[in-house]
């Protein structure tokens, strides 16, 4: 038997149906590898190995009995710990939710279960998905498998490394400003943020509700297409999910799109872009030209306001969403909230309990966001900050609408630099925020964004190519990306972990 952990979901499905390997053997191979590598990489916050093996055995038994099986039957999947899993720890990378066990499954989790996937664990993340390095987790950072002194990106760092280090063939993350695409780029894998409304957010613990989306990580686009097909679609439990047909992403993947008009985003090649990343992206453009694409430069003139607008809109929504963690109903409750000063004496005990619970439960970045957002929304400042940011958001969307009159997809770098060192940016929030300058605007506009591997730096770190398409044009996005994937072999590189 070849090592199943060096494979992809699509290949494993074929091998299971031809009887070459069983679901149990596959799950066992992945959990054994995780056993060895997790202590170094810190990918999983929670695993239930027995349950995963039982799920895999059940798939084998049903296959033997001739039952019809779901599209992910026997495939291990790792889940970012921001998604609710019934009765199982769901911490969101926070002390606040250390002992939270949700009373329900997120819709995407129900869909995975209905597809007969095997859930192998919950993955590490920046607390409440706020961050770009996974260093904001209350449970220690995840490490990049290409260089364990470096960060894997974030906030979905655990789910990205689960796939990059072959602890699962596919995984789910969430992306509010880049949290799927940025770690995918820094770990050398594929990551897709679907259009806003394409995938249900029911059971996704909210960070910024007008920006959050769930999406897949994988080694190649066939697996992306497969997993997106399983999780996409209207959900009555999420009123922002859209009732539009879900195409057969996998079935159409290998048919090149009817037109191949590619736009290069001028604004993404300015100051701050590492020359090695720029060279790899320019080379990707040549690959498209060689494949017969018409390539032209396009402008998204309001891109430079994306960061400022995002860092008002996202914290504003976060400050509202996170007000539910007050120690009363669920989440961390402080044991000691006694008054220590005369000033505290004058605060009612209930309020002191809430203050102490929030002070203990949240880490520094989450507190910073709550304060920023509360300020941006406060009476007297809302017009100057929050409402102004919403106007900029509209202009950013208009930029994309204009660009898509002339081209089918936009391309550019996913990140300005390759993976940085652990600790390099932790004391400088602004430097950390700049990791997402190229990914943030797609969330503000609600359009899909994809990162695929497109090169390596001289020091052996992966580089990501970002592709963007109009809202709900994931099929075009995947088919266009596939043209590049077929012409290159960057997606087949794997880190040299023993």
Point out the residues that are catalytic.
80, 155, 179
Dist. CA 159–CA 149, nearest whole Å? 18
Nearer Cβ to ligand GLN (157/462): 157
Nearest of 287, 297, 240, 80 to residue 172 by alpha carbon: 80
Nearer Cβ to ligand GLN (178/363): 178
Minimal distance, residue 438 CB to ligand GLN, in Å: 12
H/E stretch holding 77: strand 76-80
Contact 1, 20 (CB under 8 A): yes
Q: Give SS3 for 215.
A: strand
Minimal distance, residue 489 CB to ligand GLN, in Å: 29
Minimal distance, residue 61 CB to ligand GLN, in Å: 39
Residue numbers of the site for ligand GLN (CB under 6 A)?
Answer: 129-132, 155, 175-179, 207, 314, 436
Enter the tokens of residue 271: 């100051």
Nearer Cβ to ligand GLN (47/369): 369
How would DSSP label each residue in 233-297? Answer: S-BTTBTTS-------HHHHTTS--S--EEEEEGGGGSTT--HHHHHHHHHHHHHHHHTT-EEEE
Residue with token string 């066992």: 28
Minimal distance, residue 160 CB to ligand GLN, in Å: 12
CB atoms within 10 A of CB 350: 12
Nearer Cβ to ligand GLN (55/441): 441
Minimal distance, residue 471 CB to ligand GLN, in Å: 18
Task: Give the Å distances, CA to CA, from 326 to 96, 208, 284.
Answer: 9, 18, 49
Contact 347, 408 (CB under 8 A): no
Dist. CA 458–CA 463, nearest whole Å? 11
The contacts of residue 395 (CB under 8 Å, 6+ apart) are 302, 305
Q: What share of the chain is helix, strand, coil (3-state, %, to 5)?
A: 40, 15, 45
Nearer Cβ to ligand GLN (34/205): 205
Nearer Cβ to ligand GLN (24/436): 436
Nearer Cβ to ligand GLN (132/417): 132
CB atoms within 10 A of CB 483: 19
Minimal distance, residue 390 CB to ligand GLN, in Å: 17
Nearest of 252, 188, 244 to residue 226 by alpha carbon: 252
Minimal distance, residue 161 CB to ligand GLN, in Å: 16
Task: Give the Å distances, CA to CA, from 478 to 175, 255, 472, 483.
Answer: 18, 10, 12, 9
Nearer Cβ to ligand GLN (121/177): 177
Contact 194, 215 (CB under 8 A): yes
Dist. CA 431–CA 13, nearest whole Å? 42
Minimal distance, residue 180 CB to ligand GLN, in Å: 7
Dist. CA 430–CA 310, nearest whole Å? 13
Nearer Cβ to ligand GLN (55/213): 213
Contact 152, 161 (CB under 8 A): yes
Minimal distance, residue 441 CB to ligand GLN, in Å: 12
Contact 42, 143 (CB under 8 A): yes
């Amino acid at each position: 038997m070849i090592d199943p952990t060096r494979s992809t979901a699509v290949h494993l499905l074929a091998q299971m149906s031809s009887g070459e390997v069983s679901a149990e053997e596959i799950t066992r191979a992945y959990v054994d590898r995780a056993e060895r590598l997790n202590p170094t990489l810190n990918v999983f916050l929670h695993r239930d190995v027995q349950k995963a093996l039982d799920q895999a055995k059940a798939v084998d038994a049903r296959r033997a009995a001739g039952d019809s099986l779901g599209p992910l039957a026997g495939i291990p999947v790792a889940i970012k710990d921001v998604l609710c899993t019934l009765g199982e720890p769901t911490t969101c990378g926070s002390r606040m939710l250390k002992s939270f066990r949700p009373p329900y499954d997120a819709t995407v989790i129900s869909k995975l279960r209905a597809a007969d996937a095997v859930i192998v664990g919950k993955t590490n993340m920046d607390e409440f998905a706020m961050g770009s390095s996974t260093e904001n987790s209350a449970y220690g950072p995840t490490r990049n498998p290409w260089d364990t002194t470096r960060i894997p990106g974030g906030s979905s760092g655990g789910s990205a490394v689960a796939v990059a280090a072959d602890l699962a063939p596919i995984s789910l993350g969430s992306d509010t400003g880049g949290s799927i695409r940025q770690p995918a780029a820094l770990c050398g894998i594929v990551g897709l943020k679907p259009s806003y409304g394409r995938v249900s957010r029911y059971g996704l613990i909210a960070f910024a509700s007008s920006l959050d989306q769930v999406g897949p990580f994988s080694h190649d686009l066939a697996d992306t297409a497969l997993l997106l097909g399983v999780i996409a679609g209207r959900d009555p439990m999420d009123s922002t999910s859209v009732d539009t047909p879900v195409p057969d992403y996998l079935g159409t993947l290998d048919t090149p799109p009817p037109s191949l008009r590619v736009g290069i985003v001028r604004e993404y090649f300015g100051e701050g872009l590492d020359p090695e990343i720029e060279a790899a992206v320019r080379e990707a453009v040549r690959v498209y030209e060689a494949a017969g694409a018409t390539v032209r430069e396009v402008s998204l003139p309001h891109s430079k306001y994306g960061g400022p607008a995002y860092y008002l809109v996202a914290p504003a929504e976060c400050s509202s969403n996170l007000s539910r963690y007050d120690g009363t109903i669920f989440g961390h409750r402080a044991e000691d909230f006694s008054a220590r000063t005369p000033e505290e004496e004058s605060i009612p005990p209930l309020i002191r309990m809430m203050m102490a619970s929030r002070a203990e439960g949240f880490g520094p970045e989450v507190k910073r966001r709550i304060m920023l957002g509360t300020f941006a929304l406060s009476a007297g400042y809302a017009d100057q900050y929050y409402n102004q940011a919403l106007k900029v958001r509209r202009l950013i969307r208009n930029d994309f609408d204009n660009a898509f009159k002339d081209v089918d997809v936009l391309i550019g770098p996913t990140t300005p630099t390759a993976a940085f060192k652990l600790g390099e940016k932790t004391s400088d929030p602004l430097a950390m925020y700049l990791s997402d300058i190229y990914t943030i605007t797609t969330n503000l506009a609600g359009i899909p964004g994809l990162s695929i591997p497109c090169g390596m730096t001289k020091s052996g770190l992966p580089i990501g190519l970002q592709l963007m398409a109009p809202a709900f044009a994931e099929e075009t996005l995947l088919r266009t990306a596939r043209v590049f994937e077929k012409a290159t072999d960057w997606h087949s590189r794997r880190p040299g972990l023993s």
